[in-house]
């Protein structure tokens, strides 16, 4: 039985929710392995729409075990609020179908405050964070001062750990000219929510090992996109965690041998939310049209997404850094009706052609896209469920994408409805 990792192959918002939902129906265990509640998945199941940020997508399906791994940073209040929203929609969420790693770091109010202070007070370009405390929480994790979920069950040592945390944060508060935090207020924040979250706590690495040994199908669900990876993304305009497929092993407590197939999700065009380089961004009517047709607004933030042509250089690079075995190409139908469509095939940097995205921030800002123009199609591809339903030129476009990125297209999505999918290769059956 194959275990599958799903990662975004661009800057996030590629439509992972629909594909993860489709795959989760075949999986027994669905695991979130990085990120926090700063990235959202929208699942459309029949007439029901579920918006998830922290919870693994499998929780909306009966009989699936959802797991939040230690690679995630967890806002306990956001978790409970999300659970309550799903319960109000008729979804059963309990320790029977949701477990959270005991060593997951927690996001506290002090992290959200610091995130907002930095973003609003920075000079020059902002990083475009969601101000939900994700980055500061990861900083405390690697700084070895984080409060972890297990700490809520040990009240005898909690005060000592909070004091250690505040030595760092109160120094920052003084630097910003803000009053210091009181330890008792932070302790109350934690002890108030503890009874709601502690029932979900478990030893996740052991659960994962048991799932593997019993032959259960595991789906590793990534948030955001590989181009936001802290190491391999467009630094510093990235998230604070590793979003590439290798993090699935680290962030859930399994060895890399547990991963059998990596499915990358990529739009048939490119979008980005927030600041940072975007070589193929369109500032014209075409970019506006793509954004309107694709309803390009963030699930969590509501921010308008920047839109541009498909960038094969970036996706090819992601294929290599994440070890992607196949691509799910989404929103092909948004390109219906264009007389011609462009694909970025190389870059020009200081007069020379290159075939990769340089790591330098200044170089990324200077690169120019080199396009290949492909004839568009006037017929509709919306709702197509087989190759025979697609216009001939749409098929040529997909095939050219495959050639340029160096990976096969395993699925093609032609609408938000999960049934409107052309299946070429089922990742769980490879």
For the question of residue 41 being annotated catalytic, the response is: yes
* Burial class of residue 91, CB neighbours in 10 A (0-12, 13-18, 19+): middle
**φ, ψ for residue 120, nearest 5 deg:** -80, -20
The pairing of strands 65-68 and 98-101 is: parallel
Q: How far is CA 258 from CA 56, 238, 247, 395, in A?
A: 19, 27, 12, 34
d(CA 86, CA 83): 5
Among residues 13, 102, 113, 333, the one annotated as catalytic is: 13
Here the contacts of 173-179 (C-beta below 8 Å, separation 24 or greater) are 176/117, 176/121, 178/117
Half-sphere exposure (Cβ direction) of 278: Cα atoms closer than 13 Å: 20
- Give residues with Cβ within 8 angstroms of 121, minimum separation 6: 176
**Active site residue: 21, 37, 41, 420, which one?**
41
CA atoms within 13 Å, Cβ hemisphere of 46 = 3
Where is 288: in which H helix or E strand?
Answer: helix 285-293
Annotated catalytic sites, by residue?
A: 13, 41
């Amino acid at each position: 039985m194959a275990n599958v990792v799903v990662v975004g192959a661009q800057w996030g918002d590629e439509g992972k929710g629909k594909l993860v939902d489709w795959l989760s129906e075949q999986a027994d265990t669905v695991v979130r392995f990085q990120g926090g509640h700063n990235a959202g998945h929208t699942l459309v199941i029949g007439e029901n729409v579920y918006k998830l940020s922290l919870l693994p997508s499998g929780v909306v399906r009966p009989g699936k075990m959802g797991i939040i791994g230690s690679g995630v940073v967890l806002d306990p209040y956001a978790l409970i609020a999300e659970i309550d929203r799903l319960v109000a929609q008729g979804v059963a969420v309990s320790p029977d179908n949701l477990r959270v790693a005991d060593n997951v770091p927690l996001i506290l109010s002090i992290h959200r405050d610091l995130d907002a202070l930095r973003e609003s007070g920075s000079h020059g370009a902002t990083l475009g964070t969601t101000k939900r405390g994700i980055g500061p929480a990861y900083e405390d994790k690697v700084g070895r001062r984080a409060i972890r979920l297990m700490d809520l069950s040990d009240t005898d040592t909690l005060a000592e750990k909070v004091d250690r945390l505040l030595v760092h944060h109160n120094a920052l508060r003084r630097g910003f000219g803000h009053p210091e935090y009181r330890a008792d207020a932070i302790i109350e924040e934690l002890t108030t929510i503890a009874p709601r979250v502690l029932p979900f706590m478990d030893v996740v690495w052991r659960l994962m090992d048991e799932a593997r040994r019993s032959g259960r199908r595991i789906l590793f669900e990534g948030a955001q996109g590989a181009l936001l990876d802290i190491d391999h993304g467009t630094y510093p305009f990235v998230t604070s965690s590793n979003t590439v497929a290798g993090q699935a092993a680290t962030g859930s407590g399994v060895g890399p041998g547990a991963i059998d197939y990596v499915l990358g999700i990529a739009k048939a065009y490119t979008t980005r939310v927030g600041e940072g380089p975007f070589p193929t961004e369109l500032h014209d009517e075409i970019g506006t049209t793509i954004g309107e047709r694709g309803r390009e607004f963030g699930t969590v933030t509501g921010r308008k997404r920047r839109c541009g042509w498909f960038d094969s250089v970036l996706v090819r690079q992601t294929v290599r850094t994440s070890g992607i075995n196949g691509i799910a190409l989404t929103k092909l139908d948004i390109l219906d009706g264009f007389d011609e469509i462009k694909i970025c095939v190389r870059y020009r940097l200081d007069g020379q052609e290159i075939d990769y995205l340089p790591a330098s921030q200044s170089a990324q800002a200077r690169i120019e896209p080199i396009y290949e123009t492909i004839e568009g199609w006037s017929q509709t591809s919306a709702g197509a469920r087989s190759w025979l339903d697609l216009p001939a030129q749409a098929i040529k476009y997909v095939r050219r994408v495959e050639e340029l990125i160096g990976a096969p297209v395993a699925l093609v999505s032609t609408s938000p409805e999960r049934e409107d999918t052309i299946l070429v290769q089922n990742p769980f059956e490879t």
